[in-house]
Structure 1
Amino acid sequence: MPFDFVQVDAFTTRPLYGNPAAVVFDADDLPAEIMQKIAREMNLSETVFLLKPTSAAADYRVRIFTPMSELPFAGHPTVAAAHAVLARYPDKADATLLRQECGIGIVPVAVTPTPRGKLLTMTQAAPSYRDAGLARAVVAEMLGCDAADLAPLPFEVVSTGVPWLIVELSRFAAISALNPDQGLIARVCKKAGAVGVTVFVERGDAGPARLRVRTFAPGEGVPEDPVCGSGNGSVAAFIARHKHPGEMTGGYVAEQGIEIGRDGEVQASWERGEAGTLSVRIGGEAAVSAAGQLLP
Structure 2
Amino acid sequence: MVQECGAGLVRVKREGGRLAFAVPPLTRSGPVAEVVLSRIAAGLRLEREALLDASWLVDGPEWIGVLLDSADLVLGLRPDYLALAGLKVGVIGPHPAGSEVGFEVRTFIPGDASPEDPVTGSFNAGAARWLIGSGRAPVSYLVAQGTVLGRAGRVHIDAVGDDIWIGGNTVSCIEGMVLL
The alignment's TM-score, normalised by the length of structure 2, stands at: 0.84
What residue is the counterpart of 2:152 in the other structure? Answer: 263
What residue is the counterpart of 1:180 in the other structure? Answer: 79
What residue is the counterpart of 2:96 in the other structure? Answer: 204
1:166-177 equivalence runs, <5 A: 166-177=65-76
Gapped runs of 5+ residues in structure 1?
A: 1-97, 190-195, 274-278
1:147 to 45, 48, 67: 48
Residues 23, 126 of structure 2: 8 Å contact kept: no
1:158 to 45, 57, 67: 57
Q: Does 1:131 align with 2:31?
A: yes
Gapped runs of 5+ residues in structure 2?
A: none
Cα separation, 1, equivalents of 2:70 and 2:8:
38
What residue is the counterpart of 2:131 in the other structure? Answer: 239
Aligned length: 174
Distance 1:184-1:272 versus aligned 2 partners, 3 A rule: farther
Instruction: Give the structure, 1 or 2, with the largest relative contact order (CA under 8 Å, sep 6 or more).
Output: 1
Distance 1:262-1:174 versus aligned 2 partners, 3 A rule: same
Structure with higher helix content: 1
Among all aligned residue pairs of Structure 1 and Structure 2, give the percentage whose two residues are the same amino acid: 27
What residue is the counterpart of 2:170 in the other structure? Answer: 286
Please list the CA deviations of residues 99-121 of structure 1 after superposition, one character each: whole Å capped at 9, or x if unmatched.
222333321111111xxxx1111
Cα separation, 2, equivalents of 1:290 and 1:106:
24
Cα separation, 2, equivalents of 1:203 and 1:122:
24
Q: Larger Rg: 1 or 2?
A: 1
Cα separation, 1, equivalents of 2:73 and 2:83:
19
Residues 126, 280 of structure 1: 8 Å contact kept: no
Cα separation, 2, equivalents of 1:272 and 1:145:
38
Cα separation, 1, equivalents of 2:116 and 2:38:
22
What RMSD, in angstroms, separates the aligned Cα atoms of the two structures?
2.4
The structural deviation recorded for 1:239 is 0.5
The alignment's TM-score, normalised by the length of structure 1, stands at: 0.53
Distance 1:108-1:168 versus aligned 2 partners, 3 A rule: same
Cα separation, 1, equivalents of 2:67 and 2:106:
11
Cα separation, 2, equivalents of 1:272 and 1:167:
26
